[in-house]
Amino acid sequence: MFLNDKERATFFKLYFGLLVWVNNKHKIVSGFTKEKHPKSVDSQMAYAIKEKMFQNPKWIDEYLAENDNGELTEIERGIVMSWRKFFITDKFFVMRHQAKYSVLMTGGNEKTTRLYGVVGLNHPFSDFFERSDLPVVIDATILPFQDKIIYDGLFSKYNISIGSGMRGGLNDSYRISKEKYGIIESLPFNDDN
């Protein structure tokens, strides 16, 4: 599953507007402008900006304070604020592709491993990673978007091969986490454990 045209247009307007503002304010890279269509944006530049931004999430507060001129609707402001509050940047294992989303799993132990149902932006995750290649390891940022979890369109894949022993361990972690916590389909989520 991936975003529909209207959702995708809203996401790109908000996210790339935020990245451009952060870059203009904090001078992370040169040549990153709002006039470019997201498909023509240099992904390495965007990745560098987003990494700095999520290391300094207060910049999102600054963006919202400086852009309180009616350019963004209240709903759009709420979406951007949800990114500030509930983003998750981590190393994820892409574990499964399902009809509604792909399941990304955080690493860790039984108490910290979680499964997230993540929707694609332009394409489902299955367009990037064949079922037969799973699991794969990526660095990514996942974000709330209305009633879904999405990624920000920027991820990096680790070029590692996962052997049968590690695959078995990951599948055990997946099963245990799914039984205990289920698959998280929206952020924020209630995690009483």
In-domain check, residue 31: yes
Q: Do 56 and 103 reside in the same domain of the chain?
A: no
pLDDT score at 58: 97
Q: Do 63 and 151 reside in the same domain of the chain?
A: no
Q: Do 80 and 130 reside in the same domain of the chain?
A: no
In-domain check, residue 46: yes
pLDDT score at 40: 66
3-state DSSP call for residue 161? coil
What's the pTM?
Answer: 0.92
Q: Which of 50, 85, 120 is the last residue of a domain?
A: 85
Q: Do 62 and 142 reside in the same domain of the chain?
A: no
Domain that holds residue 124: 86-184
pLDDT in tens, the chain (193 residues): 899 999 999 999 999 999 999 999 999 999 887 765 566 678 899 999 999 999 999 999 999 999 877 889 999 999 999 999 999 999 999 999 999 999 999 987 778 899 999 999 999 989 998 888 899 999 999 999 999 999 999 999 999 889 889 999 999 999 999 999 999 999 987 665 5
DSSP 63-121: HHHHT-SSSS-HHHHHHHHHHHHH-EEEEEEEEEE-SS-EEEEE-S-TTT--EEEEEBS
pLDDT score at 106: 95
Please state the length of the chain. 193
In-domain check, residue 74: yes
Q: What is the CATH number of the domain that holds 171?
A: 2.40.50
Q: Which of 34, 56, 85 is the last residue of a domain?
A: 85
Give residue 135's identity as a one-letter amino acid code.
Answer: P
**Inter-CA distances, 125 with 13, 23, 53, 69, 165, Å:** 21, 28, 24, 36, 25
In-domain check, residue 191: no
Q: Do 25 and 79 reside in the same domain of the chain?
A: yes
pLDDT score at 188: 85
pLDDT score at 177: 94
Q: How far apart are the first and last CA of the chain?
A: 29
In-domain check, residue 192: no
Phi and psi torsions of 150, nearest 5°: -125, 170
Q: Do 94 and 141 reside in the same domain of the chain?
A: yes
Can you tell me the distance from the alpha carbon of 17 to that of 9, in angstroms, rounded to the nearest whole number? 12
Give me the number of domains the chain comprises: 2
Q: Which of 38, 56, 85 is the last residue of a domain?
A: 85
Give 3-state DSSP helix, strand, coil % of the chain, rounded to 5.
Answer: 45, 20, 35
pLDDT score at 107: 84
Q: Do 45 and 102 reside in the same domain of the chain?
A: no
Q: Do 78 and 112 reside in the same domain of the chain?
A: no
In-domain check, residue 193: no
